[in-house]
Amino acid sequence: MLDGIADKVKSPRTLIRMPWIGDDLARPLATDLSTWEFVQLGWRRFRAGRTIHCRLGGDAVAIGGQSFLDPSEDNRNVIAMFLGVTAPQPPRPGSGPFGPGCRTG
């Protein structure tokens, strides 16, 4: 049921009408989001399939009792992925919790 409601709310027609119906949609919800913030959420969801999320990575090291990330040489590849020079690739298996890479969606 919630998927059906979400599909209707994020449809292009509803997105266009959002400035006029946003208050009606938000009224039964316990939120402090404005109509414009609702529009922004809808737009973000609408273009989610084309969004790229990248993470620079490295290895965790302790220096003087503090934790740091020793940058990975793969960070150059991540920058190329972010700029669209190469295709986005997820972190390599076994690259640890801070593996560099990109994901779409």
Residue matched to tokens 């990330």: 69
For the chain, the structural domain boundaries read: 2-46, 52-104
Check residue 13 and give its pLDDT.
Answer: 78
Could you read off the pLDDT of 21-44 as tens digits, one per residue?
767 766 666 667 777 776 777 665
Pairing of strands 101-104, 58-63: unpaired
pLDDT on residue 17: 77
Higher-scoring residue by pLDDT: 12, 71: 71
This prediction has a pTM of: 0.50
H-only helix segments in 1-105: 2-9, 12-26, 35-46, 75-82
Which pLDDT score is estimated for 52?
82
DSSP at 40: H
Q: How far apart are CA 103 and CA 83, in angstroms?
A: 13
